[in-house]
Amino acid sequence: MSDVKKVVLAYSGGLDTSIILKWLEDTYGCEVVTFTADLGQGEELEPARAKAEKMGVKEIYIEDLREEFVRDYVFPMFRANTIYEGEYLLGTSIARPLIAKRLVEIANQTGADAISHGATGKGNDQVRFELGAYALKPGVKVIAPWREWDLLSREKLMAYAKEHDIPVDFAKQGKKSPYSMDANLLHISYEGGILEDPWAEPEEDMWRWSVSPEAAPDTPTYIDLTYEKGDIVAIDGERLKPHEVLEKLNKLGGANGIGRLDIVENRYVGMKSRGAYETPGGTIMLKAHRAIESITLDREVAHLKDELMPRYAEMIYNGYWWSPERKLLQTIIDESQEVVNGKVRVKLYKGNVIPVGRESADTLFDENIATFEDDAGAYNQKDAEGFIKLNALRLRIAANKGRKLG
């Protein structure tokens, strides 16, 4: 007899998690609570409720977490200009700690003994969900069906669904995309299908959020982004909530062919994986944030942030959002953003995000010093001679000792 009486399942209502729901009941003889998060994936979530009800689920949680997701996870990450391996904007990674948090909170509310997820044993998401859960509820039991069952093919899953009368739209499943997709307000990802061949170019009709750069308008779009403490608070003077900012930037970026990415990345579990991503709003945010920082941050602070960023990105990618080291770095990053206020104007054109204007009351850009015209004595050019000689001193000493440096 299983010691698991109740389990909270991260539930989408799709084929995999519908099967997991029934499998949990049969394998563990337990009650299942379903949790479905609206992170802006652009899908109607009420069908998930109907499916769960049809399968006899008594406790069903469907929650709109869009504002919390962008405010407390996406925005803090973008304050660090975070990218993984030089390209990936971490759209899937940053959603997992919030889902893990709510799974644990719902388990506490409902008195559940365990949580469960549909991540496979080959991917990063199992690590992210479970590291988060253990950090927030150390004694929680985690059930990962893909590491336990033998339903390791689409055919076996479909047969199981048919055998147990699981409400799955078989007609729709037959026409489903050949790609494994994950979407939220920050991005949509594509894996599998022809993408498993790293030489194969993605088909044009795969992309869902953006037009191709070739098909984008011939006239650029200009937008003004207002920043307060490193976060965008207004677009073209209109103040918006965090999730509304990202929604609007996604539309503007997608219409201008911005945000497509095709990469081979190194998963935490050890393998290389090829994925394609659309992150139109995030691509704009990254470029614009660096633009406002360029005039407001001290040089050494900016350079230190750039040194720390790859480590911070790895923490998020690998699932360590709920770790003391990420919290420590976040404190440093957020402190740097106190002066990141002002406005950036960007031009969106055929896949490009081009900052064309920056202004801030906290700017460190001094036109009187930087000018190529007469600076009226603001900068004494003769000072550069001593500066250069002192910085060259060790090089001159080594050269005089006969050391070859070239």
**Residues forming the annotated binding site?**
10-18, 37, 88, 93, 118, 120, 124-125, 128, 180, 189, 265, 277
Q: Which amino acid is at 378?
A: A
Query: Is 125 one of the catalytic residues?
Result: yes
196 touches 273 (CB < 8 A) = no
Nearest CA-CA partner of 74 in 321, 276, 323: 321
Other residues' Cβ atoms within 10 Å of the Cβ of residue 217: 13
Confirm whether 239 is a catalytic residue. no
Query: Which one-letter amino acid corresponds to residue 222?
Result: Y
Per DSSP, the residues of 268-287 read TTS-EEEEEEE-HHHHHHHH
Across-strand partners of 282?
none
Looking only at the bridges linking them, the beta strands covering 221-228 and 188-191 are unpaired
Rg from Cα positions in the chain: 25
CA triple 91-229-226, angle to 5 deg? 80
Q: What residue type is 112 in one-letter code? A: A
Q: Which of the following is catalytic: 96, 102, 274, 326?
A: 96
Residue pointed to by tokens 């750039």: 306
Tokens at 45, concatenated = 């979530």
Which of 66, 116, 125, 231 is labelled catalytic?
Answer: 125
Instruction: Provide the annotated binding site for L-citrulline.
Output: 88, 93, 124, 128, 180, 189, 265, 277
CB neighbour list of residue 133: distance below 8 Å, 6 or more residues apart: 100, 103, 104, 115, 140, 142
Annotated active-site residue 79? The verdict is no
Residue ranges of the annotated binding site for ATP are 10-18, 37, 118
CA distance 23 to 30: 10
Q: Which positions make up the binding site for L-aspartate?
A: 120, 124-125
- Report the C-alpha gap between 35 and 118 in whole angstroms: 12
In sequence order, the β-bridge partners of residue 84 are 88
Contact 343, 360 (CB under 8 A): yes
Q: How far apart are CA 203 and CA 332, in angstroms?
A: 42
Out of 38, 49, 71, 180, the active site residue is 180
Amino acid in position 68: E
* Residue 86: count of CB within 10 angstroms of its CB: 8
**What angle is formed at CA 137 by the lines to CA 114 and CA 328, rounded to 5 degrees?**
145
Q: How far apart are CA 259 and CA 282, in angstroms?
A: 8
- In the numeric block, the tokens 């190529």 are attached to 372
| Active-site annotation holds for 16 | yes
**Residues belonging to the active site:** 16, 96, 125, 180
